[in-house]
């Protein structure tokens, strides 16, 4: 099991409940693991929360790294990965200097990690982990869409299984990809980037699907590259013939809006909608072929409206 392999080498110490846990969480967030007192930093690693969270002090950069291994039934909500946020607490309250975050893993487990390069291990007294619930995710998406509107930026609203895909985005080279204009076809939205190895490895399969279902499938790519020209070059190089949306160009240079609006952090992510534009599947590229077949087969008795 991936979890056992990843955590086997780390020393485990028992955590002590905090004397004064942080209780005033932001709207939409709940505790996945309540704040816990840390023992001394004599060990190179420290685990808490049933062995799910690992803190690793980085003495070279004077920072710390927090890793979280997720292999439970909370992994997907409406086809989206559950979002977590660490809470590091020092003598003066919550430590705000969060650095870079990222994720890796497989279809079964996800490893999330956060770097705090400016925080010394001895500065941290308690550590907790927050989870963004579905109501919070929807609230965050709505607020982000309001921000996008004020910036004259286009971004995909939160996709939810069973609801209409609100697709209306500017495409590279001009024009717009609109769900209303695609009615009558199945729609596959592909979130990808040149730096994402699984994204690029699945392109031949995606091109095969486009050829096989040329008359009934519309594909729209969402290029998550911050380097717009690099993404455009790869589109030509890979001969990706379907419409593409640049996350940078669509948002007028505010690509960070995408994660908050869509709830999509790690890629590749595939969204499949039926002929009426209703989202039927959200997942990784490893399941897209079977998922598309299932959506098409399940839609045979429900012709497109209008």
DSSP string, 220-233: EEEE--SSHHHHHH
Phi, psi of 140 (to 5 degrees): -60, -40
Residue with tokens 């705090």: 116
β-pairing, 46-48 vs 53-58, is antiparallel
Q: Are 80 and 122 in contact (CB under 8 A)?
A: no
Alpha-carbon distance of 206 to 169, in angstroms, equals 21
β-pairing, 217-223 vs 186-192, is parallel
Alpha-carbon distances, residue 223 vs 91, 159, 226 (angstroms): 42, 17, 9
Burial of 97 (0-12, 13-18, 19+ CB in 10 A): exposed
Hey, CA dihedral for 42, 48, 51, 52, is it positive or negative?
Answer: negative
* Nearest of 143, 147, 121, 1 to residue 66 by alpha carbon: 121
Looking at domain 150-298, its CATH architecture is: 3-Layer(aba) Sandwich (3.40)
Q: What is the pLDDT along the chain (306 residues), one digit of tens a residue?
A: 333 323 322 232 333 444 445 657 777 888 887 887 776 655 555 565 555 556 555 555 567 777 777 665 444 556 566 778 888 888 888 887 666 666 665 556 677 778 888 887 778 888 888 888 888 888 989 999 999 999 999 999 999 999 999 999 999 989 999 999 998 999 999 999 999 999 999 999 999 999 999 999 999 999 999 999 999 999 999 999 999 999 999 999 999 999 889 988 778 999 999 999 999 999 888 889 999 999 999 865 444 433
β-pairing, 110-116 vs 126-132, is unpaired
Q: Are 246 and 254 in contact (CB under 8 A)?
A: no
Domain boundaries, the chain: 2-132, 150-298
Length of the chain: 306
């Amino acid at each position: 099991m991936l979890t056992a392999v990843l955590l086997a080498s780390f020393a485990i110490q028992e955590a002590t409940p905090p004397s004064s846990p942080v209780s005033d969480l932001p709207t939409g967030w709940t505790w996945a693991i309540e704040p816990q007192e840390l023992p001394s930093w004599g060990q190179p690693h420290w685990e808490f929360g049933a062995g799910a969270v690992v803190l690793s002090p980085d003495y070279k950069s004077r920072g710390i790294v927090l890793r979280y291994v997720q292999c439970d039934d909370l992994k997907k909500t409406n086809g989206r990965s559950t979002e977590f946020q660490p809470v590091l607490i020092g003598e003066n309250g919550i430590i705000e200097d969060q650095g870079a975050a990222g994720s890796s893993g497989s279809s079964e487990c996800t490893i999330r990690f956060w770097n705090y390069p400016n925080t010394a291990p001895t500065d941290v007294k308690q550590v907790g982990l927050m989870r963004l619930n579905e109501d919070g995710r929807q609230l965050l998406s709505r607020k982000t869409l309001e921000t996008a509107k004020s910036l004259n930026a286009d971004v995909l609203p939160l996709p939810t299984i069973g609801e209409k895909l609100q697709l209306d985005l500017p495409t590279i080279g001009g024009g717009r990809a609109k769900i209303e204009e695609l009615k009558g076809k199945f729609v596959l939205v592909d979130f990808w980037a040149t730096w994402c190895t699984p994204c690029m490895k699945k392109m031949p399969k995606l091109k095969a699907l486009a050829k096989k279902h040329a008359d009934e499938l519309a594909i729209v790519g969402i290029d998550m590259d911050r380097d717009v020209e690099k993404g455009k070059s790869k589109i030509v190089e890979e001969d990706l013939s379907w419409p593409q949306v640049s996350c940078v160009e669509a948002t007028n240079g505010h690509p960070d809006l995408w994660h908050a609006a869509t709830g999509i952090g790690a890629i590749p992510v595939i969204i499949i909608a039926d002929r009426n534009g209703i989202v039927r599947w959200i997942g990784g590229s490893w399941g897209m072929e079977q998922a598309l077949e299932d959506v098409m087969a399940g839609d045979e008795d429900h012709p497109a409206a209008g």
